[in-house]
Structure 1
């Protein structure tokens, strides 16, 4: 407004600018839903928006940041959570792994899992920064570390998964 000095800003009142979502924290600041309270629980993956929705019927309970497959490699359609799940994996052909994986198609081929890790189990920050913004996987659905851990620990076998 005419180059007038308007005052000072205390350093404690500022936060660093981040052009990515914090993949080390849950996607939302509210608690995850108690899956036992929702008889019609399902998971929806919106590829265009790079989001995962935990729903009860048509009611959205929780929204997660995601990174789906490059070149439309994430399959679209109706699936269900399968029995296969685990703490971590590493695929030498892709040079990446992940933690907290949960299968939804082809028994361990298509997964919900954390942002990727390298051969030493360290998270790959450049890949993690794609979360919620753009596809980056080879067909799986990448999530924040806590979101992937929650799905792995709480989502029951047979829970419907709809990807569009």
Structure 2
């Protein structure tokens, strides 16, 4: 993940096989920052979640830090699983509470293709 570029680069060895537009954390406070460094995909993943605290949910989530705290997931959705257009339009800019937001197809691809223990580098 390149936070400055707001892009994710999926690599096999040194070859980039897939590039995705992302939205990382706003980085305005410690509570909305995306952690930088090296991490590994954790076992927790699912097709849907909803946060009562943020009043936002997302599809196709995969945990990469603190077992469910920091996730890859789709653009935000309402409780009835409708895309929040104003949030989706922020893709490609810093916009999240610390997670990595992806398009719905990219989030599904990560959910289906990136196994546990895959290295994640965020810079």
What does residue 142 of structure 1 align with?
101
Determine the C-alpha separation between the residues in 1 that align with 2:86 and 2:62: 23
Q: TM-score normalized by structure 2?
A: 0.94
1:67 corresponds to 2:23: yes
What does residue 27 of structure 1 align with?
none
1:123 corresponds to 2:108: no
Specify which structure has the higher proportion of strand. 2
Query: How big is the alpha-carbon RMSD for the aligned residues of Structure 1 and Structure 2?
Result: 0.9
Q: CA deviation at 1:158?
A: 0.4
Deviations 1:31-73 (A, max 9, x none): xxxxxxxxxxxxxx10000000001122111100100001260
Larger Rg: 1
Determine the C-alpha separation between the residues in 2 that align with 1:149 and 1:126: 21
Q: CA deviation at 1:162?
A: 0.1
1:81 corresponds to 2:69: no
- After the TM superposition, which segments of 4 or more aligned residues of structure 1 sit over 6 Å from their partners? none
1:1-12 map, 5 Å: none
Q: CA deviation at 1:146?
A: 0.6
Q: Which runs of 5+ in 2 are unaligned?
A: none
Q: How many residues align?
A: 119
Deviations 1:108-160 (A, max 9, x none): 1100000000122111011001112x111100000000100011011111000
